[in-house]
Amino acid sequence: MRSFAPSERRENAVEFSIKTLAPERAKTGCLVLGVYQGGALTRAAQLADRAARGALRGALALGDLSGKPGSTLLLRELPGLAAQRVLLVGLGERKDFGEQPLRDAVRGAANALRELGAKDAVVYLGELRAARRSQAWGLRQLVLGLREAFYRFDQLKTQKKPPAPALAAGTLAQGEGPVTLQAQAALKEALATADGAALARTLGNLPPNICTPSYLAEEAKKLARQYKLGLQVLERRDMEKLGMGALISVTRGSHQPPKLIVLRYNGAAKSKKPVVLVGKGITFDTGGISLKPAAEMDEMKYDMSGAASVLGALRALAGMKAPVNAIAVVPTCENMPGGGASRPGDVVTTLSGQTVEILNTDAEGRLILCDALTYTERMQPDVVIDVATLTGACVIALGHVATGMFANDQKLADELLAAGEDAWDRVWQMPLWEDYQEQLRSNFADMANIGGRPAGSVTAACFLSRFTKKLRWAHLDIAGTAWKGGREKGSTARPVPLLVRFVLRHAGAK
């Protein structure tokens, strides 16, 4: 198979601008206007309806739009309007207009624009205010939603379908009033976040024969060049010299060389302690000698989603020139069986000096993370957050909605909860109580790497907590939220929006 250099990756990035524009005067292929259920028009839709001599109300009176959040109706060649088409988007009941209806409306509008093959659009959804949310919040959701809908991953299909419909230009318009500085800032933040999310999504979607540890290191090099970031990549011999026995133990069955990537973005004074984001980068998890069952094993290519998300977050922060210091740390390798692979029963010495009895080689994430977490101590971090598709048990506990969150510092936990609400990329706190620690007892080493079936995500976090005593630390288990299965199979790019929002809020930037 021909090799895919990182530079061959194509991204379908829509560019957006924001301005004040009377809707009837918008010269565009498609004007996008919101309509509440029951036929109430938004302010922009009212203005357009008046100019079109009641044509919008006329269409609604025929009952052609349900008005449910995300429902759409396309109208063509209306009189009195400079636009060629009008896309009406249902917003649901006005009194219920909150986060979810807004997001559904954005998704509905974006999908309709994509189906239409629209080359440009003027969208009046950014001025809508969900209950208890700022306009900036709505704008960020709008930009991320539109960019997600136009994301494509087709570089590995040879039967090139007609060129993917690309919205070349999107104008986020408001009917009246000046565009505020907050709105401009929200747009800039959202565009950079969308770039970071696109990177995370593509890395997640790439197959494991292409997206290897070396590929991730190349990608980090590309980011470093493009955004002038600091980069260090530790090789196997460096890890051995340092004494990262746990990380090394996971790499033994694989022919792919492991890497430990350290990517630094300095947007604030040198004296400001960095936020360190550690991402699990298992580019494929077979389980090792504790081999996983065959069914759906391909999904274990997403086991580097934590790594993808911290690289994506760094790209976003650097892209928006955020006034923060942040470091991404990515331990990355494959978990394979083989003659050299670690065995159940092996005892290894971690970088911290503590010993671990490997009772199950499929609990490998915690083994690579524990050494990476210890390694972050030398960066004198302000806080450390690790992001990992760590446990199937987390999917059972929280499904595909909330990311599991654990922290040894309640202030940090509260900040993550708030950032998750803000980004609508939500986390739910789980306990890290001492009571669970005894499940990790081993007769032969300081601890075992598994704690049995009960509370599997909690004991995984408890394992990590033994390596973060000197840190203000939180752990995000994204096993259920980083990707989707079924027909919609693909990376979700979560938790890039959460990480970006957290770092900005933490620095007091927003």
Binding residue for Zn ion, selected from 49, 195, 219, 285, defined by CB under 5 A = 285
Kindly write down the DSSP assignment for every residue of 210-277, as one continuous string. Answer: TS-HHHHHHHHHHHHHHHT-EEEEE-HHHHHHHT-HHHHHHHTT-SSPPEEEEEEEE-S-TTSPPEEE
Give CA–CA dist 193/143, Å, rounded: 9
Give CA–CA dist 85/28, Å, rounded: 8
Q: Is 132 a catalytic residue?
A: no
Q: How do strand 325-335 and strand 347-349 relate by DSSP bridges?
A: unpaired
Q: Do 216 and 283 touch, CB atoms closer than 8 A?
A: yes
- Is residue 189 a contact residue for Zn ion (CB under 5 A)? no
Q: Do 413 and 465 touch, CB atoms closer than 8 A?
A: no
Binding residue for ligand BES, selected from 104, 219, 357, 362, defined by CB under 6 A = 362
Phi-psi region of 243 (alpha: psi -120 to 50; beta: other; left: phi over 0): left
Give CA–CA dist 484/506, Å, rounded: 29
- Is residue 389 a contact residue for ligand BES (CB under 6 A)? yes
- Is residue 392 a contact residue for ligand BES (CB under 6 A)? yes
Cβ proximity to Mn ion: between 45 and 363 the closer is 363
Binding residue for Zn ion, selected from 127, 303, 371, 425, defined by CB under 5 A = 303
- When CB distances are held under 5 to 8 angstroms depending on the partner's kind, the choice from ligand BES, Zn ion, Mn ion, none that residue 391 binds is ligand BES
Binding residue for Mn ion, selected from 334, 362, 382, 422, defined by CB under 5 A = 362
Site for ligand BES in 465-494 (CB under 6 A): 479
For residue 42, give the 3-state DSSP assignment: coil
Q: Do 148 and 56 touch, CB atoms closer than 8 A?
A: no
Stretch that binds Mn ion, among 9-17, 204-212, 350-358, 362-370 (CB under 5 A): 362-370
Q: Interface mask (CB under 6 A) for ligand BES, residues 416-455, using x and -?
A: ----------------------------------x-----
From 103, 366, 426, 501, active-site residue: 366
Cβ proximity to Mn ion: between 85 and 366 the closer is 366
Question: SS in 3 state form for 419-474?
Answer: HHHHHCCCEEECCCCHHHHHHHCCCCCCEECCCCCCCHHHHHHHHHHCCCCCCCEE
Give CA–CA dist 287/60, Å, rounded: 56
Binding residue for ligand BES, selected from 348, 393, 448, 504, defined by CB under 6 A = 393
227: its two tokens: 């955004």
**Residue 287 CA: distances (Å) to CA of 246, 357, 454:** 15, 16, 20
- Is residue 364 a contact residue for ligand BES (CB under 6 A)? yes
Q: Do 217 and 304 touch, CB atoms closer than 8 A?
A: no
146: its two tokens: 């539109």
Which residue's beta carbon is nearest to the bound Zn ion?
285
From 9, 119, 292, 472, active-site residue: 292
- When CB distances are held under 5 to 8 angstroms depending on the partner's kind, the choice from ligand BES, Zn ion, Mn ion, none that residue 395 binds is ligand BES
Binding residue for Mn ion, selected from 285, 382, 386, 477, defined by CB under 5 A = 285
Q: Is 510 a catalytic residue?
A: no
- Is residue 24 a contact residue for ligand BES (CB under 6 A)? no
Stretch that binds ligand BES, among 152-160, 213-221, 383-391, 433-441 (CB under 6 A): 383-391
- Is residue 357 a contact residue for ligand BES (CB under 6 A)? no
- Is residue 285 a contact residue for ligand BES (CB under 6 A)? yes
Angle at 51 between CA 47 and CA 56, to 5 degrees: 75
- When CB distances are held under 5 to 8 angstroms depending on the partner's kind, the choice from Zn ion, Mn ion, ligand BES, none that residue 67 binds is none
- Is residue 281 a contact residue for ligand BES (CB under 6 A)? no
- Is residue 303 a contact residue for ligand BES (CB under 6 A)? yes
What residues pair up with 34 in beta bridges, in sequence order? 89
Please give the positions annotated as active site.
Answer: 292, 366
Binding-site ranges for ligand BES (CB under 6 A): 285, 303, 360, 362-365, 389-393, 395, 450, 456, 479
In the complex, the residues that contact Mn ion under the rule CB under 5 A are 285, 362, 364
Name the residues that contact Zn ion, by CB under 5 A. Answer: 282, 285, 303, 365
